């Protein structure tokens, strides 16, 4: 069989046929012979170990035992019958059990003949049994020269039910590989393979399915991971280079008068070094002819807003408009208020547009926007509705981008002849490995320094049983004039059960903190936007001391006097959410606290999350742990990312391989940007083939 034959549709493979082919396509995305070979095992069963019946441990482990079937009987049960075989070795007896397929077994099973039984153990008291074992005549097993490390393939219930069991997948793959006597086309340059001691493609493919040893398996996996990363990186790096050349943007030759005036006369505080550095990076982008695509990362409270605002001033100083989009109405209002205050100082016109903007105001706003009278528009995703037409949008800032879909971002971009410069601000720190892979085509700026004078937030974990002590502590802090948030989990906006928790909690707090000494606000997703804004405003102005809320306050809200964040059922929150919530406090000069309340029962992951929170305030460390716990798919909606649909490599575990592959991809492209040198022809061919099959996530554009 040669490379061309491997493209054959999967139904032509022996033992597959049209019905199973359909299943393989829909369940596992396997269309061709080649796809089957690219379905890599996710684990391996060690079949080098044999057990004796008397030595079995009371676990549900998968084991293999050599023995003989001495008797078979049918046992009636509630529904139908089960078939039970007595299986013996020289040390004892156990039962093999079948709930279906009796006829076939009865006709095929041989008694008093050595078998190898393999499967999961079940225990009834101290009696072991094995339901639906894999049975091989010992003779056959030895002839097959037993795969020592038996591959286990990803599967679904449907596949299992229709007979595409792991054993079947195993046989199919094994037989297919046997036909591939000519081996596989090599897809990595000799030079790179030698340098990093990578095994050949052929050996890697054979060994990843049926390795003879753990070492062989490791080498095979290393090579395949390297290859996978290498081609993803080639794509990302090339797109980056290409994008830089191709996408034109508005050049802003000067910083302009607005910027100069504000910077010299109205800056409310000295910028941190990190803020200045980032601003320089942005300035450089804006001065060039290319469109800026920059991700601005900075932990909560690091001061991204002012950087965004100063960038807006540059756009406006060059005769363009700017907008800022926020994920929630509350946040949009806050940005509007904050930025209006700053913009007023240099005489700029700022307006707010959200879902609740009245028709009349909207009409005026649209007019001013079209005429260019309006300099800055701030709002929610209402900004990207088709009716909203700018005269000349020069800079779009998106705050907390992980809440926006790719399509929404693309819409912003279509508002001009040329795309506006885009800056995405996020407090969700993205671990380096992930950033390298996902944002290979996006420039990243990091504000890695907090404004001076901040005291690190003290975080503690307390059990529900100590609630009264916690409330007492809260009372003491309120007496000192501080304010507090009390947050309840709300996983689903529609989940009434969670609302009941929230309302019960609110009532108990009102009871413990009674009027008129205390004022308690509540904000949640079921409230009307204007009611939410009203309550929020009361809290901002210090008219209420406690804000009971769901995670609607998660992002961006800035109330420096609030110094306590009490999180109820903290075990139900994800790490990045907890970190975001904690970031709501610690914004003023006072010592701030974050209290994580939980029940007594905690899962292992839950414990890890709580420990991480109490041990560190560093958003990057937290993101690393989060990535480990959740895998990259969940993080910031990166499911949309084709890049992350890696077949074998793992962004968390394989960061070092990624770095190697990325380096080699850089070296190759530096020497041969278009991959036209003869020695790179095979890389180019593989690259083109991959591009056809895999659509990379189109970031922003």
* Site membership for Mg ion, residue 394 (CB under 5 A): no
Query: Looking at 271, 510, 602, 691, which residue binds ligand ADP (CB under 6 A)?
Result: 271
> Which one of the spans 67-75, 129-137, 296-304, 485-493 is the region binding ligand ADP (CB under 6 A)?
296-304
* Site membership for ligand ADP, residue 586 (CB under 6 A): no
* Site membership for ligand ADP, residue 135 (CB under 6 A): no
Query: Which residues sit opposite 398 in a β-bridge?
Result: 325, 424
Chain-centroid distance, C-alpha 634: 3
Query: Looking at 193, 225, 239, 304, which residue binds ligand ADP (CB under 6 A)?
Result: 304
* Site membership for ligand ADP, residue 269 (CB under 6 A): yes
306 binds, among Mg ion, ligand ADP, none (CB under 5 to 8 A by kind): ligand ADP
298 binds, among Mg ion, ligand ADP, none (CB under 5 to 8 A by kind): ligand ADP
Q: Which is nearer to Mg ion, 556 or 655 (CB)?
A: 556
CB 541, min distance to ligand ADP, A = 16
Two tokens, residue 463: 């059990």
Alpha-carbon distance of 28 to 154, in angstroms, equals 8
CB 544, min distance to ligand ADP, A = 20
Residue owning tokens 């020497």: 671
User: Under 8 Å CB-to-CB from 48, ≥6 apart: which residues?
Assistant: 148, 149
* Site membership for ligand ADP, residue 302 (CB under 6 A): yes
Q: Which is nearer to ligand ADP, 154 or 338 (CB)?
A: 338
Two tokens, residue 4: 């061309």
Query: Looking at 298, 317, 429, 586, which residue binds ligand ADP (CB under 6 A)?
Result: 298
Q: Which is nearer to ligand ADP, 306 or 509 (CB)?
A: 306
Burial class (CB in 10 A: 0-12, 13-18, 19+), 371: exposed
* Site membership for Mg ion, residue 556 (CB under 5 A): yes
Whether residue 6 contacts residue 13, with contact meaning beta carbons closer than 8 Å, is answered with: no
> Which one of the spans 250-258, 264-272, 542-550, 565-573 is the region binding ligand ADP (CB under 6 A)?
264-272
Query: Looking at 219, 225, 532, 587, which residue binds ligand ADP (CB under 6 A)?
Result: 587
Whether residue 110 contacts residue 71, with contact meaning beta carbons closer than 8 Å, is answered with: no
User: Under 8 Å CB-to-CB from 585, ≥6 apart: which residues?
Assistant: 457, 485, 562, 563, 564, 565, 592, 593, 594
Ramachandran region, residue 132 (left: φ > 0; alpha: ψ -120 to 50; beta: rest): left
CB 398, min distance to ligand ADP, A = 13
Q: Which is nearer to ligand ADP, 221 or 304 (CB)?
A: 304
Scan residues 546-575 and list those touching ligand ADP (CB under 6 A): 558, 560
Closest residue to ligand ADP, judged by C-beta, is 303
Cis before 516 (ω within 30): yes
Q: Which is nearer to ligand ADP, 310 or 570 (CB)?
A: 310
Alpha-carbon distance of 398 to 648, in angstroms, equals 33
* Site membership for ligand ADP, residue 272 (CB under 6 A): yes
Alpha-carbon distance of 217 to 565, in angstroms, equals 49
Alpha-carbon distance of 633 to 613, in angstroms, equals 22
Cα separation of the two ends of the chain: 42
Alpha-carbon distance of 184 to 180, in angstroms, equals 8
Alpha-carbon distance of 267 to 310, in angstroms, equals 10
DSSP one-letter string for 468-516: HHHHHHHHHHHHTT-EEEEE---SSTT-HHHHHHHHHHHHHHHHHS-TT
Instruction: Count interface residues toward ligand ADP (CB under 6 A).
Output: 17
* Site membership for Mg ion, residue 298 (CB under 5 A): no
Query: Which residues sit opposite 422 in a β-bridge?
Result: 293, 396
Alpha-carbon distance of 437 to 699, in angstroms, equals 12
> Which one of the spans 137-145, 173-181, 552-560, 608-616 is the region binding Mg ion (CB under 5 A)?
552-560
Chain-centroid distance, C-alpha 684: 30
Closest residue to Mg ion, judged by C-beta, is 556
240 binds, among Mg ion, ligand ADP, none (CB under 5 to 8 A by kind): none
> Which one of the spans 87-95, 123-131, 441-449, 549-557 is the region binding Mg ion (CB under 5 A)?
549-557
Q: Which is nearer to ligand ADP, 37 or 306 (CB)?
A: 306
* 570 phi/psi in degrees, rounded to 5: -60, -25
* Site membership for ligand ADP, residue 306 (CB under 6 A): yes
Two tokens, residue 264: 């010299």
Scan residues 152-171 and list those touching ligand ADP (CB under 6 A): none
Q: Which is nearer to ligand ADP, 303 or 419 (CB)?
A: 303
Whether residue 613 contacts residue 594, with contact meaning beta carbons closer than 8 Å, is answered with: yes
Query: Looking at 119, 128, 151, 303, which residue binds ligand ADP (CB under 6 A)?
Result: 303
> Which one of the spans 74-82, 243-251, 295-303, 487-495 is the region binding ligand ADP (CB under 6 A)?
295-303
Query: Closest by alpha carbon to 408, among 430, 433, 386, 441?
Result: 386
> Which one of the spans 115-123, 304-312, 414-422, 573-581 is the region binding ligand ADP (CB under 6 A)?
304-312
Q: Which is nearer to ligand ADP, 300 or 597 (CB)?
A: 300
Query: Which residues sit opposite 120 in a β-bridge?
Result: 62
Alpha-carbon distance of 202 to 672, in angstroms, equals 27
Q: What Å distances lie between residue 476 and 479, 481, 564, CA to CA? A: 5, 9, 11
584 binds, among Mg ion, ligand ADP, none (CB under 5 to 8 A by kind): none
User: Under 8 Å CB-to-CB from 103, ≥6 apart: which residues?
Assistant: none
Query: Closest by alpha carbon to 87, among 141, 44, 120, 133?
Result: 133
Scan residues 424-443 and list those touching ligand ADP (CB under 6 A): 427
CB 632, min distance to ligand ADP, A = 24
* Site membership for ligand ADP, residue 482 (CB under 6 A): no
CB 300, min distance to ligand ADP, A = 4
Two tokens, residue 311: 């960038």
433 binds, among ligand ADP, Mg ion, none (CB under 5 to 8 A by kind): none
> Which one of the spans 298-306, 405-413, 522-530, 574-582 is the region binding ligand ADP (CB under 6 A)?
298-306
Query: Closest by alpha carbon to 415, among 370, 360, 358?
Result: 370
335 binds, among ligand ADP, Mg ion, none (CB under 5 to 8 A by kind): none
451 binds, among Mg ion, ligand ADP, none (CB under 5 to 8 A by kind): ligand ADP
CB 446, min distance to ligand ADP, A = 12
* Site membership for ligand ADP, residue 483 (CB under 6 A): no
Two tokens, residue 284: 């450089």
Alpha-carbon distance of 382 to 514, in angstroms, equals 39
> Which one of the spans 95-103, 268-276, 488-496, 532-540 is the region binding ligand ADP (CB under 6 A)?
268-276
CB 374, min distance to ligand ADP, A = 23
User: Under 8 Å CB-to-CB from 555, ≥6 apart: which residues?
Assistant: 327, 328, 331, 399, 400, 403, 427, 580
* Site membership for ligand ADP, residue 463 (CB under 6 A): no
* Site membership for ligand ADP, residue 300 (CB under 6 A): yes
> Which one of the spans 51-59, 293-301, 464-472, 542-550 is the region binding ligand ADP (CB under 6 A)?
293-301
**Chain positions contacting Mg ion, by CB under 5 A:** 556
Which residues contribute to the site for ligand ADP (CB under 6 A)?
A: 269, 271-272, 275, 298, 300-306, 427, 451, 558, 560, 587
């Amino acid at each position: 069989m040669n490379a061309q034959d491997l493209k054959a549709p999967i139904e032509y493979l022996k033992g597959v046929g049209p019905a199973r082919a359909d299943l393989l396509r829909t369940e596992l995305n396997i269309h061709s012979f080649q796809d089957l070979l690219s379905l890599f095992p996710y684990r391996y069963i060690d079949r080098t170990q044999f057990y004796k019946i008397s030595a079995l441990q009371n676990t549900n482990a998968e084991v293999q035992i050599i023995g003989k079937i001495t008797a078979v009987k049918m046992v009636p049960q509630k529904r139908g019958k089960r078939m039970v075989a007595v299986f013996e070795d020289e040390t004892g007896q156990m039962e093999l059990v079948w709930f279906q397929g009796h006829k076939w077994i009865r006709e095929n099973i041989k008694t008093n003949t050595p078998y190898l039984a393999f499967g999961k153990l079940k225990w009834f008291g101290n009696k072991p049994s094995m339901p639906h074992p894999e049975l091989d005549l010992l003779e056959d097993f030895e002839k097959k020269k037993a795969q020592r490390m038996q591959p286990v393939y990803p599967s679904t219930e449907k596949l299992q039910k229709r007979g595409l069991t792991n054993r079947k997948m195993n046989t199919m793959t094994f037989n297919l590989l046997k036909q591939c006597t000519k081996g596989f086309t090599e897809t990595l340059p000799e030079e790179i393979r030698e340098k990093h001691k990578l095994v050949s493609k052929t050996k890697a493919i054979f060994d990843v399915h049926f390795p003879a040893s753990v070492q062989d398996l490791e080498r095979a996996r290393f090579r395949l991971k390297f290859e996978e990363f290498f081609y993803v990186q080639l794509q990302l790096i090339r797109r980056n280079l290409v994008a830089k050349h191709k996408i034109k943007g508005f050049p802003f030759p000067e910083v302009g008068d607005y910027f100069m005036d504000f910077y010299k006369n109205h800056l409310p505080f000295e910028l941190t070094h990190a803020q200045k550095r980032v601003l320089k990076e942005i300035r450089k982008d804006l001065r060039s002819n290319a469109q800026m695509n920059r991700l601005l990362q900075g932990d909560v409270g690091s001061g991204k807003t002012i950087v965004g605002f100063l960038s807006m001033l540059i756009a406006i100083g060059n005769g363009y408009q700017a907008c800022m989009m926020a994920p929630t109405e509350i946040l949009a209002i806050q940005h509007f208020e904050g930025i209006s205050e700053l913009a007023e100082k240099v005489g700029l016109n700022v307006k707010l547009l959200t879902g609740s903007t009245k028709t009349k105001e909207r009409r005026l706003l649209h007019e001013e926007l079209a005429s260019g009278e309006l300099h800055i528009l701030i709002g929610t995703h209402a900004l990207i509705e088709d009716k909203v037409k700018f005269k000349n949008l020069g800079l779009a800032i998106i705050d907390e981008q992980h809440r926006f879909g790719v399509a929404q971002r693309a819409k912003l971009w279509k508002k001009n002849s040329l795309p506006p410069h885009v800056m995405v601000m996020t407090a969700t720190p993205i671990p380096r490995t992930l950033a390298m892979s996902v944002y290979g085509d996006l420039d990243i700026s990091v504000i890695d320094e907090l404004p001076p004078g901040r005291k690190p937030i003290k975080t503690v974990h307390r059990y529900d049983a100590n609630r009264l002590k916690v409330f007492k502590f809260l009372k003491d802090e309120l007496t000192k004039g501080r304010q507090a948030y009390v947050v309840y989990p709300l996983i689903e906006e529609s989940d009434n059960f969670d609302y009941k928790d929230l309302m019960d909690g609110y009532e108990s707090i009102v009871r413990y903190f009674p009027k008129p000494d205390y004022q308690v606000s509540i904000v949640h997703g079921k409230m009307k936007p204007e009611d939410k804004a009203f309550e929020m405003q009361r809290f901002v102005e210090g008219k209420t001391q406690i804000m009971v809320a769901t995670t609607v306050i998660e992002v961006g809200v800035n109330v420096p006097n609030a110094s306590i964040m009490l999180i109820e059922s903290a075990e139900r929150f994800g790490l990045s959410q907890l970190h975001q919530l904690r970031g709501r406090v610690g914004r003023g000069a006072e010592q701030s606290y974050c209290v994580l309340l939980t029940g007594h029962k905690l899962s292992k992951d839950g414990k890890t999350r709580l420990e991480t929170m109490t041990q560190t305030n560093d958003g990057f460390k937290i993101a690393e742990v989060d990535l480990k716990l959740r895998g990259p798919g969940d993080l910031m909606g990166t499911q949309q990312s084709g890049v992350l649909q890696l077949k074998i490599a793992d962004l968390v575990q394989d960061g070092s391989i990624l770095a190697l592959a990325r380096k080699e991809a850089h070296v190759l492209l530096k020497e041969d940007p278009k991959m036209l040198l003869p020695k790179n022809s095979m890389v180019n061919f593989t690259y083109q083939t991959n591009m056809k099959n895999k659509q990379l996530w189109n970031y922003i554009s």
